Chain A
Amino acid sequence: MSSDTVPATVYTDATRAKGEVIIELDSVDKYFGDFQALKDINMRVGLQEVVVVIGPSGSGKSTLIRCINRLEKHDRGTIIVDGIELSDDIRNIQVVRRETGMVFQQFNLFPHLTVMDNITLAPRQVRHLPKKEADDLAMELLERVKIPEQARKYPGQLSGGQQQRVAIARSLAMRPKVMLFDEVTSALDPEMIKEVLDVMVELAEGGMTMIVVTHEMGFARAVANRVVFMSDGQIVEVGTPEHFFTSPQEDRTKLFLSQIL
């Protein structure tokens, strides 16, 4: 599945060491009212690493990655993204959001803008890229995700798989250091899942640091460096894909895997 056409560091900063810790979570707790969604989460993610998070629904996987870009606010513990701590400091929050990209289950494309405008909106408004440069960047990314001909269409005219690929391109346009994927194939019809996964595989091989919440075990086996299993707000087991699928340790892990494999 590896391709020779994508250089291994096109999506990352080649001057930095592979594996350098870029995301740190220490003793993170998160409550929704009385319900504790995250319990004592400790996690380190290194540069160019692909971490796949799996678990039953309600286990806190989405909450976890939404805390990383401050779409949810964690109640205890520390979250540090590329040396910047997520706190009540507005500037920190903005910087972290610029450096992380998120792709949503519901795509969340802006329906009133063309595909092109969707992708160039943030680079122009946040990074103050001139229009020409932003447009060139958008076309380059659309070619990467293999739908350059849709540039002037509206999201409503695209299929689900195409919309999700546009969403990925939109996040890539901000040149994030880390990409967060929140169950991005769960809302797609089966025949469209592959095209999105192919794009994600290409991202992984291009050196992007990725945290992927998903049910797609094939993807995990293909490109994940590490698989994290969560249940009831806790990280239950961590390991390489081979370890996970051949010899899981915990009972909860075995139960979950028996249900989905």
Chain B
Amino acid sequence: MTASAERAPVLPEGSALGWIKERLFRNVWSGAVTVVLIPVLIYVGYRAFVFIFINGQWAAVSRNLTNFIMGRYPRDQTWRLVAQMMLLALAFGAGAGTGSGTARDKAEEAGLVYVPPTLAGTLRRFWSLIAFVLVLLVMAGSTGPWLVAGAAVVLGYVGWQSWRLPRSLRMLSWLATALLLLAGFQVVSGTDGMAWLPVALAVAFAVWLVVPVERLQAVMRPVVSLVASLAAAAVVFGVYQVIAFPGIGWDQWSGMHLTLWWSAIVSALAFPVGLLLALARRSNLPALRYLATTYIELIRGVPLITLLFMGQFILGFMLPAGTNLSSISRSIAAGTLFTAAYLAEIVRGGLQSLPPGQAEAGQALGMAPTTIMRKIVLPQALRAVIPAMVGQFISLFKDSSLLFIINVTEFLSVRGIVHAQPDFRVIAHAETLVFVAVGYWAFAFAMSRESQRLERRLGIGER
């Protein structure tokens, strides 16, 4: 297995036999490894084949597909989930299309060549997800799911056409994408319960980014920014109390649906907190630095499960008597506290990697500190750590399985429902577990491939 220096291919290059000699029997060690591995592989392959296609009791999975996907979600409200899938397909398509259009414009102006994504390329990128969905559809047996999947694909393609829009409509296109995402969230969650929280935070963050405070005195700037953001959040809160669109709050979300949304919501909530923590950690003011560092080191030193316990047992006591948060809300709070610390470290790495000359150039031009942060430092720092942030999201997605331990029914816990059924009490444990593992794997693998691809495209790590 060592990289030997000797090379003497006797057989012609490119032939099958030559390949075998080069790749499998290059030297004694290599040959020994091959000889040992091949029978093992054959045996394992045989057992796997038997397990998957012959002996496997997959009825436990195929009869419970709806359970795996939506868990305890009320079945008469399934139309909401379908509507959500349609809206999100449109939104993702539009987002990808608008992004592609923007990239195309930039490349044209700079005189570079833009290579649009091809269908074949996209299929190859997401093959694990597509394969998993196909397996689900085949197992489902009925035509309904196929129609839904087909409709989603069509809508995604329709959204993708937004790349054709002219430059002037680009902003509207982004806005439309954001609204579609919001609609996808709303059609299920309605306006009651905690639905206002993520929307209010997103709006507050957007307001903070956009509010022009440069004309004001230096002291007034952070104050006005803060007041404007809080006012925007309050407006959102008010709107949500007034408009009554009943829905199924996230307390009742379940199964794979919950796993995906839990990860997304926690990431979205944790991002602004993590950003603020990272800025505080790098601040010149010692008090802010110590506060941020203490928080980050504390959270990173404990396992997520302890924070989930804290959310379960302690959070209720820390709020005024009478506030009743559901298990899921508590877990979202715990997950946000947890993820914010890790995101803070990631963003801090990005800020540190930026040459100090960038901020200095901004200062030399007389720009205010917040302008420098918004226009120069953050765009570059955040872009540099996108792969790491995607990695954190994948990690969070996997960690959502811990909700199993606090009795929240996410994807993994559905096994509990399945094996409580009389037919499957003692059999098919391995089958359900393999199915769950493959489900997680399909998503996580696709996302990690995307992250590696992004890393290559953004040129990170290239000197």
User: Which residues of A does B touch, CB under 8 Å?
Assistant: 69-71, 90-91, 94, 97-98, 100-102, 104, 106, 108-112, 114, 121-122, 125-126, 128, 152-154, 157, 170-171, 174
Contact = CB atoms under 8 A, between A and B. Distances in A.
A127 to B, nearest CB: 9
A150 B172 CA distance: 29
Contacts of B111: 152-153, 157
A104 B112 CA distance: 28
Nearest to A149: B111
A175 B26 CA distance: 69
B391 to A, nearest CB: 22
A160 to B, nearest CB: 15
B355 A125 contact: no
B380 A128 contact: no
Contact of B366 (A94, A104, A111, A157): A94
A38 B224 CA distance: 40
Contacts of A128: 214-215
Given A108-B357, A126-B366, 18 more contacts: A71-B363, A90-B218, A91-B218, A97-B363, A101-B364, A102-B364, A104-B361, A104-B364, A110-B376, A112-B379, A112-B380, A114-B110, A122-B362, A122-B367, A125-B375, A126-B214, A157-B110, A157-B112
Given A94-B366, A112-B383, A126-B367, A153 B360 contact: no
Nearest to A89: B218
A110 B364 contact: no
A104 B364 CA distance: 10
A157 B107 CA distance: 12
19 contacts: A71-B363, A90-B218, A94-B218, A94-B368, A97-B363, A102-B364, A104-B357, A108-B360, A110-B376, A112-B379, A121-B365, A121-B375, A122-B365, A125-B214, A126-B365, A126-B368, A152-B110, A153-B111, A170-B365
B109 interface: yes
A104 B360 contact: yes
Interface in B298-325: none
Interface residues of B, number: 27
Contact of A110 (B112, B361, B383): B361
A169 to B, nearest CB: 12
B110 A171 contact: no
> Which of B109, B214, B355, B364 has the most chain A CB within a 10 Å cutoff?
B364
Contacts of A98: 366
A100 B365 CA distance: 8
B197 to A, nearest CB: 32
Contact of A108 (B214, B355, B383): B355
Nearest to A116: B109
A94 B380 CA distance: 24
Interface in B275-310: none
A171 B364 contact: yes
Contacts of A101: 364-365
B358 interface: yes
Nearest to B374: A125
Contacts of B367: 121-122, 125-126
Nearest to A126: B366
Contacts of A153: 110-111
B62 interface: no
Contacts of A91: 217-218
A101 B368 CA distance: 15
Contacts of A121: 365, 367, 375-376
Contacts of A122: 362, 365-367
Interface string B64-83: 00000000000000000000
Contacts of B357: 104, 106, 108
Contacts of A100: 364
Contacts of B110: 114, 152-154, 157
B371 interface: yes
Contacts of B361: 102, 104, 108-110
A152 B109 contact: yes
B366 A71 contact: no
Nearest to B215: A128
A109 B365 CA distance: 12
A102 B218 CA distance: 22
Contacts of A126: 214, 365-368, 371
A261 to B, nearest CB: 30
A101 B362 CA distance: 11
A106 B364 CA distance: 14
Given A71-B364, A125-B367, A125-B371, A106 B355 contact: yes
A152 B365 CA distance: 21
B111, B112, B365: residue with the most chain A Cβ atoms closer than 10 Å: B365
Interface centre among A69, A108, A157, A170 (most CB of B within 10 A): A108
A97 B375 contact: no
A6 B177 CA distance: 52
Contacts of B383: 112
B281 to A, nearest CB: 23
Contacts of B368: 94, 125-126
B358 A174 contact: no
Interface in B371-418: 371, 375-376, 379-380, 383
A71 B360 contact: yes
Contacts of B355: 106, 108
A128 B358 CA distance: 21
Residue from A97, A121, A125, A170 with most neighbouring chain B CB atoms (10 Å): A125
B365 to A, nearest CB: 4
B343 to A, nearest CB: 21
Given A90-B218, A106-B355, A171 B380 contact: no
Task: List 4 tightest A-B contacts by C-beta distance, closest first.
Answer: A98-B366, A108-B361, A122-B365, A102-B364
A59 B272 CA distance: 44
A55 B362 CA distance: 27
Nearest to A153: B110
- Max count, chain A CB within 10 A of own CB: residue among B360, B361, B371, B375: B361
B7 to A, nearest CB: 40
